[in-house]
């Protein structure tokens, strides 16, 4: 297995709901007019709390300074697991469950915090740039480490650096954050960038204006239905995560939805904002799923984490995770 360290230097930021209009111009440019920017990595996810944006330095310049924009202090790098020398953007992801044991768990064991972004095409594991020497040291025995430089893949030499953190001996990872599962069902899909102009107006409406009166406030939360929409445009590939109702607004044959019409249920992690310094949250969730061989997409946002699992697996997933929940000892 190869681990590609992508060349993008990334910022992770939160845009408050009430400030989204201040950023809309820049976000529309990043999402729909990529030729007008030098941005190669852009992801925007709306949750009930806020909008989370992951963007490279060129893209970040498109956003205005604002009291509504909170930026995580670190610069982040994206890691991408590629099996058998295949393309990093092959048609279907390896799945976060497959990389949980080999990447996410060892990093958690070494006290390295990760931020996950699963897309239709692949999974990105974000690590702080300052942690990279330790990340490479930790993973070099399991992976061929490669860096992407000016679009070319070159060998990355691991240095014998440690952060002084001694790996614990197989310590179980109890889940310490509350879990919830909204009632909506979700689709993970994509579309051809050439068709983007034809659905741009619809996408803008979904991104910025669909949180209308019927969907806002406690009403939607009471029914268990939450607002969640994710759009990524990364190196020319588009990925969309939206609930089943939203997909019905799109014209037929625009979205790359699997023939089986696969639907995903969400497990939401966190009862309050999780922050960026805690380690092992992704591992706590993804390891039990990997053990049970249940595929999953995983999207971290500024305040919460979200795992998407096949609809038919949701009860066994909740059961497996509940078994791992901390009992407060």
268 within 8 A of 299, measured Cβ to Cβ: no
pLDDT tier at 82, thresholds 50, 70, 90 = confident
Average pLDDT of the segment spanning 180-202? 92
- pLDDT at position 60 is 96
- pLDDT at position 223 is 59
In a 10 Å sphere around its CB, with 0-12 CB exposed, 13-18 middle and 19+ buried, how is residue 41 labelled?
buried
Give dist(CA 226, CA 204) in Å, integer.
19
pLDDT tier at 317, thresholds 50, 70, 90 = confident
41 within 8 A of 235, measured Cβ to Cβ: yes
Nearby residues of 166 by Cβ (< 8 Å), 6 or more positions away: none
Is the predicted pLDDT of residue 147 greater than 50, yes or no?
Answer: yes
Average pLDDT of the segment spanning 117-121? 91
Average pLDDT of the segment spanning 243-270? 85
- pLDDT at position 18 is 92
Q: Could you tell me the domains of the chain?
A: 1-159+169-209+225-328 (3.30.2130.10)
Model confidence, pTM: 0.87
Average pLDDT, the chain: 82
> How would DSSP label each residue in 162-207?
--SPPPPSS----B-S-EE--S--EEEE-B-GGGHHHHHHHHHIII
Q: How many CB atoms lie within 10 A of CB 93?
A: 21
């Amino acid at each position: 297995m190869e681990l590609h360290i992508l060349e993008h230097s990334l910022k992770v930021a939160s845009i408050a709901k009430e400030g989204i209009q201040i950023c809309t111009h820049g976000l529309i440019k990043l999402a729909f007019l990529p030729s007008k920017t030098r941005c190669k990595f852009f992801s925007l996810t709306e949750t009930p709390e806020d909008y989370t944006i992951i963007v490279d330095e060129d893209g970040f310049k498109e956003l205005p300074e604002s009291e509504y924009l909170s930026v995580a202090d670190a610069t982040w790098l994206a890691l991408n697991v590629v099996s058998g020398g295949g393309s990093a953007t092959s048609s279907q992801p390896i799945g976060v469950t497959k990389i949980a044991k080999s990447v996410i768990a060892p990093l958690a064991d070494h006290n390295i915090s990760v931020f996950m972004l699963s897309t239709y095409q692949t999974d990105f594991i974000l690590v702080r740039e300052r942690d990279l020497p330790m990340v490479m040291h930790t993973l070099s025995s399991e992976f061929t480490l490669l860096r992407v430089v000016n679009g070319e893949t070159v060998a990355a030499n691991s240095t014998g650096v440690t952060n002084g953190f001694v790996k614990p001996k197989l310590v179980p990872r109890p889940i310490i954050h509350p879990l919830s599962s909204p009632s909506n069902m979700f689709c993970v899909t994509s579309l051809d960038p050439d068709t983007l102009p034809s659905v741009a107006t619809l996408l803008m409406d979904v991104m910025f204006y669909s949180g209308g009166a019927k969907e806002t406030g406690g009403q939607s939360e009471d029914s268990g239905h939450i607002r969640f929409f994710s759009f990524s445009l990364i190196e020319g590939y588009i990925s969309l995560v939206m609930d089943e109702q939203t997909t019905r607004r799109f014209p037929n044959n625009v979205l790359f939805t699997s023939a089986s019409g696969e639907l995903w249920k969400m497990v939401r992690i966190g009862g309050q904002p999780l922050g960026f310094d805690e380690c092992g949250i992704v591992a706590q969730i993804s390891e039990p799923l990997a053990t049970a061989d249940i595929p999953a997409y995983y999207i971290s946002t500024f305040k919460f984490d979200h795992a998407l699992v096949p609809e038919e697996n949701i009860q066994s997933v909740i059961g497996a995770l509940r078994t791992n929940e901390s009992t407060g000892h």
